[in-house]
Structure 1
């Protein structure tokens, strides 16, 4: 088992959740149960799956949950692009969130590679 709170990628994902929750509060109210909800769910799935995987017994199990977190990150990226294309996000908010999700994706891929090649 690993302590998920010690993982930088978990910390960054948690921070991004808070940022997106604040920004998405300004989305149209008729999107509350549509795009807003779906984007939030895919985003908080990232740190949730990192934490769940870290609590598993083997590196293979941890790697599996990192795969799920990575998939959720791409799902969120798509929803972020849709929200931006629909004009729900200001340029500066979009640029900040987009750069953060790309960074988190990179961190997840590197962590997955690391646990697949060695024990830490």
Structure 2
């Protein structure tokens, strides 16, 4: 069974999509998130790429929590960046986000995202 939802703790979707789709009728339970962006609950987008990165990770945690999951359930992150984040800063943010967990990860630099203000988008797959 497919269940869709949008966490109330983050911004509403900015287009005709939902933040998460859960395959809940089977074991294991799979969670697929739409690309999470660096936007506050109020809809603000900071100009700094590092702040957007931190917000996107925070929004991922909110989605995981709503799906009764945690970072230990992550299967894969696909990170899209429009501009570079200092390697040490990016690594530090990811380590703080992941704690001691490991996951598959792909990082891509792209020309642009759906909104010209956006510099970060992260796709997520998780399983419990």
**More helix by percentage:** 1
More strand by share: 2
Q: Which has the larger radius of gyration?
A: 1
